Amino acid sequence: MRMYLAGQWVEKDHRIEVVNPFDGKAFETVPRAEAADVEKALQSAVQGARVMERLTGHERWRFLTRAAGLLAERSEDLARTITREEGKILSEARGEVGRAVETLTASAEEAKRVTGEGVPVDAAPGAKGKLAFTLRVPCGVVVAVTPFNFPLNLVAHKLGPALAGGNAVVLKPASDTPLSALKLVEVLLEAGAPAESVQCLTGPGGELGDLLVSDARVRKVTFTGSRDVGERICRRAGLKRVTMELGSNAPVVVLPDADLEEAAAAIARAGFSNAGQSCISAQRILGAQEIYADLVSSLTAKVRAIKAGDPFAEGTQVGPMVREREAARVQQWIGEAAAGGARVVAGGDRSGAVHAPTLVVDVKPEMRISDDELFGPAVGAASFGSLDEAIALCNRSRYGLSASIFTRDLDAAMRFLREVQSGNIHVNEGPAWRADVMPYGGLKDSGFGKEGPRYAVEEMTELKLAVIHLRS
């Protein structure tokens, strides 16, 4: 495929292979953008921002609504593209396309609601005869850097709200999964988005990203990815509006009164969908001592029953990781835990990029499989003695994106909601549950700012105050 730059689909002599994670074979190529392409994209985006800010909310609603319809019409092609380049099973890819349709639809609706409000300045002394109100205006040029794990919907979560808010966007998709993003750009343009409202540069993030986020013409940066890359972007962005959706190692607490079968089933869903490659995947399973053995027994059976393999094959429940080196890293972390005294009771092996769904028990908090973000198809379990201890274990992490608790005790649930340091908290469901309209974001090293179209539009616009000084 070609990349989209300055209103044109562009070829380059230097190209990057797009590889199918399951068989390791390249099946497509995309251009490798360079510094000169970044400059051209930013110049074009400045022009695009001028066009976008003059569009009415209705005009933005109209092309975003059309784009959502086109996505729905092309859902099977898009789902197969996601599976080929990212590796998630086909049913999950189809689900991702459906979510992207909803994300664009919600973004279109928000285009109608970009508004300010009256400010009662006459409540202040000396403000008689003053009329004040706010105006919400576009940031201008938005840079969006997206990850591989949801290569269509997470792009929609950035492009949709940015365009709904009247901005122009320079998109840098993950190098492993650029095709879904390029196809979304095609859809937006076909739906009527202005030619220079979006740019899509394919190529190495380290080279292109630094140039994009540090440029003074960029007023907003939105990034989803690892904590370390997010910190690097923040250091280079300077005085810009920044949204960071970063990593996590989501804990799941199971209290003695919980339904253990319900909890184990939810953990299996939350820990192994998309081969565990989600920043809100269940990773740290904390069971009360009284029920720990029964929870481990139930969860072991469920993990052993998960079928891994070809993501296009019927019956496959877990596909490959995005690259074999990531599967090797997961296997290494599991080996380190086992060497430190933990026990592997399900899985543990791999074939190429396909890592078997794995359950490791009696994990210590300082082990990497617990302390860092694993981002793979394995969960680690440990026991705790009291709710105080469980909350302390949850908060021990530098991350805080999602957490969950299973209990019938309302008081315990409310205490967990108040005291656990996490941006998303679930009661009687796994931490990976997400509705695309909800405010989604983390605390601590999991980032700052919120996604979800309504909240992202606020992040991608700025507030101006107007005061009219009346003479009478």
> What tens digit of pLDDT does each residue of 104-131 get?
999 999 999 999 999 999 999 999 999 9
Q: Spell out a b/e string for 240-275, using b for 16 or more CB atoms within 10 Å of the CB, else e.
A: bbbbbbbbbbbbbbbbeebebeebbebbbbbbbbbb
List where CATH 3.40.309.10 sits in the chain.
250-436
Q: Which residue has the tokens 């105050």?
A: 465
Q: How many CB atoms lie within 10 A of CB 149?
A: 26
Q: Do 188 and 195 meet the contact criterion of CB atoms below 8 Å apart?
A: no
Q: Which residue has the tokens 């809100």?
A: 280
Q: Given a cut of 90, is residue 206 above it in pLDDT?
A: no
Helix (H, G, I), strand (E, B) or coil at 419: helix
Q: What is the pLDDT of residues 389-446, one digit of tens each?
A: 999 999 999 999 999 999 999 999 999 999 999 999 999 999 999 999 999 999 999 9
Residues 245, 373, 451, 459: which is the catalytic one?
245
Residue whose C-alpha is closest to residue 453's, from 173, 68, 94: 68
Please state the φ and ψ torsions of residue 350, each to the nearest 5 degrees. Answer: -150, 160
Annotation marks residue 429 as catalytic:
no
List where CATH 3.40.605.10 sits in the chain.
3-246+446-467
Structure tokens at 25: 């074979």
Q: Given a cut of 90, is residue 383 above it in pLDDT?
A: yes
Helix (H, G, I), strand (E, B) or coil at 87: coil
pTM: predicted TM-score of the whole model, two decimal places: 0.97
Q: Given a cut of 80, is residue 169 above it in pLDDT?
A: yes
Q: What is the pLDDT of residues 269-306, one digit of tens each?
A: 999 999 999 999 999 999 999 999 999 999 999 999 99
Q: Given a cut of 80, is residue 472 above it in pLDDT?
A: no
Helix (H, G, I), strand (E, B) or coil at 342: coil
Amino acid found at 152: L
Contacts of 136 (CB under 8 A, 6+ apart): 114, 115, 116, 458, 461, 462, 463, 464
Annotation marks residue 245 as catalytic:
yes
Separation in Å, CA 470 to CA 122, 129, 456: 12, 5, 35
Task: Please tell me the predicted confidence (pLDDT) of residue 429.
Answer: 98
Structure tokens at 168: 């122009």
Residue whose C-alpha is closest to residue 6's, from 197, 212, 185: 197
What kind of architecture, by CATH, is found in domain 250-436?
Answer: 3-Layer(aba) Sandwich (3.40)
Q: Do 46 and 52 meet the contact criterion of CB atoms below 8 Å apart?
A: no
When the pLDDT of each residue in the chain is averaged and rounded to a whole number, the result is 97
Task: Please tell me the predicted confidence (pLDDT) of residue 112.
Answer: 97
User: d(Cα 411, Cα 266) in Å, to the nearest integer?
Assistant: 22
Structure tokens at 178: 């650029």
Q: Do 322 and 297 meet the contact criterion of CB atoms below 8 Å apart?
A: no
Confidence of residue 315 (pLDDT cuts 50, 70, 90): very high
Mean pLDDT of 148-171: 98
Residues 279, 326, 458, 459: which is the catalytic one?
279
Q: Do 378 and 347 meet the contact criterion of CB atoms below 8 Å apart?
A: yes
CATH number assigned to the domain covering 3-246+446-467: 3.40.605.10
Beta strands, E only, 139-167: 141-145
Mean pLDDT of 298-320: 98
Task: Please tell me the predicted confidence (pLDDT) of residue 25.
Answer: 98
Given the DSSP bridges, would you call strands 3-5 and 8-10 parallel, antiparallel or unpaired? antiparallel
Helix (H, G, I), strand (E, B) or coil at 59: helix
